[in-house]
Amino acid sequence: MESVTTQALRTRVYIDGYNLYYGCLKKSAYKWLDLQLLTEQILASILHEQNGQPIPHRFVTPAVKYFTAPILKSFAKAEDSISCQAKYHNALIAHLGEKFEIIRGYFDARPARAHRWVNGKAARDCDQVDSGSSRKSSQT
């Protein structure tokens, strides 16, 4: 009988914490979703093939990279939003250990400027407007 070599596949999983929370978890009963277990179950369901034949494989415990940004006090919906977020992040770190990393970014709350859309014109040929405003501004 021929021996089959199982390939060990190193994997990194990147999670957008903002979209995970607001897109999936916020209004659900699954706020304490085990991210490591979820990724392991998803990865285990993936079939790898070469030349139409399944390749025996196993995933090395995936490294989970969780991208997020601290809530800005001026945008928080509740008084405890900032502390709740910190508790959640600390719990993820405590539960998942060294295979889990939080990558902290930041929210840019400054007003944005964009080109006004005019049918048939290139954006560079259109006036710019401030976000949330229909006021025209000069081009730079």
Give 5-50 pLDDT, tens digit per residue: 777 778 889 999 989 988 998 888 887 888 888 888 888 888 777 7
For 90-112, how does the pLDDT look when each residue is reduced to its tens digit (9 = 90+)?
A: 999 998 888 899 999 998 888 88
Domain chopping of the chain, boundaries: 7-104, 111-140
Give dist(CA 93, CA 85) in Å, integer. 12
* Three-state secondary structure call for residue 136: strand
